[in-house]
Amino acid sequence: MIVQMYYPQMTLGSAKVWSKFSYYSGFDSPNSWLLNPQSSFLILFENCKKSARNNIKVYTHLFYANHLGEPAKLKNRRLHDLDCALETWNELIAGGWTEVTKQIQESA
């Protein structure tokens, strides 16, 4: 959930200037595995531990999946801002990708 707050600030001549601050509240960033409908790809969403609280970054690691639905080989890795990661997550879920609930060990 994105919460936007508007705070009035006073400037010279008593004109009010509104500044907009956004922060994320009550929503965790995606941090899990998704498996595509054909079971040929897995994607891991992982929080970037070095990102600032007000500028959250998320890594996505796309893997080829083996016949057991486990990661076999890394295809690519990308760094996204939180909005982009959430948009990608929602698009994948809408496209039939499913969250993997079993523990996956990276074998790549």
SS3 83: helix
In a domain, 93, yes or no: yes
Contact between 50 and 59 (Cβ < 8 Å): no
Enclosing domain of residue 70 = 28-99
Q: How many structural domains are present in the chain?
A: 1
In a domain, 71, yes or no: yes
Euclidean distance between the first and the last CA atom of the chain, given in angstroms as a whole number: 34
The CA dihedral of 72, 74, 75, 79, to the nearest 10 degrees, is 140
Single pTM value for the model: 0.67
Alpha-carbon Rg for the chain in angstroms = 19
In a domain, 108, yes or no: no
How much is the average pLDDT of 14-33?
54
pLDDT digits (tens, 9 = 90+) for 30-79: 889 999 999 999 999 998 888 777 788 999 999 999 998 899 999 999 99
In a domain, 83, yes or no: yes
In a domain, 6, yes or no: no
In a domain, 74, yes or no: yes
In a domain, 8, yes or no: no
User: Whose CA is closest to 23, among 83, 79, 86, 91?
Assistant: 83
Q: Is residue 9 predicted with pLDDT exceeding 70?
A: no
